[in-house]
Structure 1
Amino acid sequence: MTMPPLSHDLPPAALRVLSRSRPRETVHGDTRIAWHEWGDTGAKPLVLMHGGSGSWTHWLRNVEPLAASGRLVLVPDLPGFGDSVAAPGIVDADGMVEPVAAALRQMVGVAGSDVAGFSFGGMLAGLVAAAHPGLVQHLVLAGAPGFGLRAEALRLKDWRHLQEQAARDRVHRENMRELMLHDPAHIDDFAVRLHAANLARDRVRRRRMARTDILARTLPALRCRVDGIWGECDQLYAGHLGELRELLGRMPNFGELVLVPQAGHWVQYEGAETFNRELLRLLDAR
């Protein structure tokens, strides 16, 4: 059964942001990537890559402010998420490198662009930058995994067996508190609807690379500058942010690690104003 488009399940406020975007699509073999763009088409491009089990809505509170700053903001639904289709056999970030690199060339040309990657999207962006030097001019990571630093195992509950939406939403709230957002007050009906719509469209559920140190091994070889923005309460790095700062500081291409106060893993949503300001500052600092 074909699932309806992501827009079918988004709340009105998200649909209003979507309505002000321009839809695009790139094709690489059997992989079809849905894109949305905001801003002046002649402006300098900034690509935003969402996290696992996500979509462009992971950047809902960022796309318009960043476009208003003078950037052309380009946001894909990564292969197998949201409204995009992954070729058979793509089960993790390594399988997405070539189709995403091809899509970037179609969208921004061979000169490349600045890229900000959240969580899984940050890990993927690092792999793309390593495999295709020059395609990523400046990489900003946000809560990215792949450093071999993990807090205690997260206690995420299954929800797919639940038939009633209310029961599913209760589990989504608990899981968001466990993984995504720091302040329980931010886990409102709006955030839950975004999260639930994205989870229902995750067709790449066998991912394992985030649990490795793949990004720690990849970043030292990158030619572009790398910076980071993390929530100071990021649940994936509880008790390990000091180790992360030390690890990143040893990398020759790393610039700065910014910690956003009172923000959890989904830092660009929970601390959107600070995140947007710091991202633009970092991109202008090179």
Structure 2
Amino acid sequence: MNDSPTMRILREPRMDHGIPPMPEAAAKIGAVEADAEILRTPSGEGHQIWRVWGLGSGKPNLVFFHGGYGSWIHWIRNVPYFKQHFTVYCADSPGLGDSDPPPDTRNADSIGEVIANGLKQLFPSPDDRFDLVGFSFGSILGGHTAQFMDRRLRRFVLVGAGGMGLSRAEGMPMSRFRRDMTHAEFTELARNNLGILMLRDRAEIDDVALLMQMLNTTRAVTRSRIFAREASLAKVLPKCPAPIAGIWGEFDSTGYPFLHERKELLQAIQPDCPFAIVPDAGHWVMYERPDAFNQTLHELLRS
């Protein structure tokens, strides 16, 4: 369904405090979203939301999972490229973005099973194959989803994955949103948190990134931080029924300067696992360096 050329918000922010009006950023997000179909699969007592570009086109299927406290907007600079070559499915993970919460927001296996059941509805035949790309928390959920999949899953690409139990530099603490913040305080806090965690180059923190951060954070029910420092992905990844690959930004705040540990772990599971590093990029590599990321991912998917 194509409701409107402007951004569709299907689930309202949980906070009483309003998000600053950013019409130009909303229009840019809406322009990417405008030709997407909205599909729904069960999640708890409600639905998981999927945005799909090119449904019925016959192109290969490509599924994107976003990061923690996120939504499909994490992939906004990548959808326009990949929809030329694939039928693109962008999930809002259960309890994040526009999706309703899963039965248990603290159990990654339970969330993964909810998503896997949804994917089996979207791709009802084992011959309906797809590639899966998970960013950050999306890689954790991807691993916990993959264990419930079969030959439908063609390849699983992890981007800036957490949940590996590996070394991580201690960065500056991020600040929490408060209900009494002014619009200016709200915006500055979002900018600061993006600079700490997501983007190495603060010049890339534009209004789209800021609006994304504020929308996503105020709607988050599933709290990803409880999973990020655990080793649940490392434990479940060997159960993945498909080949794996990894992409990291060179200066990913969650991995630098220990990217070699990520490569070693993935290649201990799959010795020929491709591992690509995108130069001069932080954690949100696909937003900060979209052209390099798109080329890198597309080459992996073609291999």
- State whether TM-score is above 0.5: yes
Q: 1:50 aligns with which of 43, 48, 66?
A: 66
User: 1:284 Cα shift?
Assistant: 1.2
Shift of 1:118: 0.5
Residue 60 (structure 1) aligned with residue 57 (structure 2)? no
Structure 2: 5+ residue stretches without partners: 1-9, 15-20
1:189 is displaced (CA, Å) by: 2.3
Structure 1's 163 and 85: CA in aligned 2 closer, same or farther, altered over 3 A? same
Relative to structure 1, the CA distance from residue 130 to residue 87 in structure 2 (aligned partners, 3 Å threshold; closer, same or farther) is closer
SS at match of 2:157: strand
2:33 matches 1:18: yes
Secondary structure of the 2:30 match is helix
Identity percentage over the alignment?
36
Matched, 1:176 2:194: yes
Choose from 291, 297, 303 the match for 1:273: 291
How far does residue 160 in structure 1 lie from its aligned partner after superposition?
2.3
Contact 1:45 1:108 in 2 (8 A): no
Distance 1:229 1:206 in 2: 20
Residue 27 of structure 1: which of 42, 45, 54 is its match? 42
Residue among 193, 214, 219 paired with 2:211? 193
CA distance in 2, matches of 1:110, 1:153: 45
After superposition, give the CA deviation of every residue in 1:243-275 in whole Å (9 maximum; x if it has no partner): 222222222265211111111111111111111
Match of 1:91 in 2: 106
Please name the residue that 1:127 is paired with. Answer: 144
Q: Which runs of 5+ in 1 are unaligned?
A: none
Q: Which residue of 2 aligns with 1:233?
A: 251
Asked if 2 retains the 8 angstrom alpha-carbon contact of 1:133 and 1:223, the reply is yes
User: Aligned ranges for residues 215-234 of structure 1 at < 5 Å?
Assistant: 215-234=233-252
1:69-109 residue CA offsets vs partner (Å, 9 max, x unmatched) = 2x100111111111110134323433211110111011122
92-101 vs 246-255, which deviates more?
246-255
Aligned to 1:247: 265
Q: Distance in 1 between matches of 2:11 and 2:270?
A: 45
**Cross-structure match for 1:116:** 133
DSSP 3-state at the match of 2:39: strand
Structure-2 residue corresponding to 1:145: 162
Residues 31 and 99, structure 1, Cα contact 8 Å, conserved in 2: no
Q: Cα gap change, 1:105/1:3 in structure 2, threshold over 3 Å: closer, same or farther?
A: closer
Matches of 2:246 and 2:224 in 1, distance apart? 26
Contact 1:114–1:139 at 8 Å: present in 2 too? yes
Deviates more, 1:210-219 or 1:50-59: 210-219
State the 1:121 CA deviation: 0.7
Find the aligned partners of 2:224 and 2:51 in 1 and give their Cα distance: 26
Q: Distance in 2 between matches of 1:20 and 1:180?
A: 27
Residue 3 of structure 1: how far off its partner (Å): 5.2
Compute the displacement of 1:154 (Å): 4.3
Q: What does 1:72-83 correspond to in 2, within 5 Å? A: 72-83=87-98
Deviates more, 1:267-276 or 1:242-251: 242-251
- CA–CA distance in structure 1, aligned partners of residues 97 and 278 of structure 2: 27
| Deviations 1:118-171 (CA, angstroms, capped at 9, x unpaired) | 011111111111233334220001011011122215411112244211101111
After TM superposition, the structure 1 stretch with the greater mean CA deviation from structure 2, 246-255 or 101-110, is: 246-255
Are the counterparts in 1 of residues 11 and 99 from structure 2 also a CA contact under 8 Å? no
Aligned length: 282
Root mean square deviation, CA, Å: 2.1
The CA deviation string for residues 3-55 of structure 1, in whole angstroms up to 9 with x for no partner, is 5389x976211111111211111125524111111125222111100011111
Moved over 3 A (4+): none
Deviations 1:164-204 (A, max 9, x none): 11101111111111100010100122211111111111011
| Aligned counterparts of 1:151 and 1:216: Cα–Cα separation in 2 | 19
3 and 27 in structure 1: CA distance in 2 versus 1, 3 angstrom threshold: closer
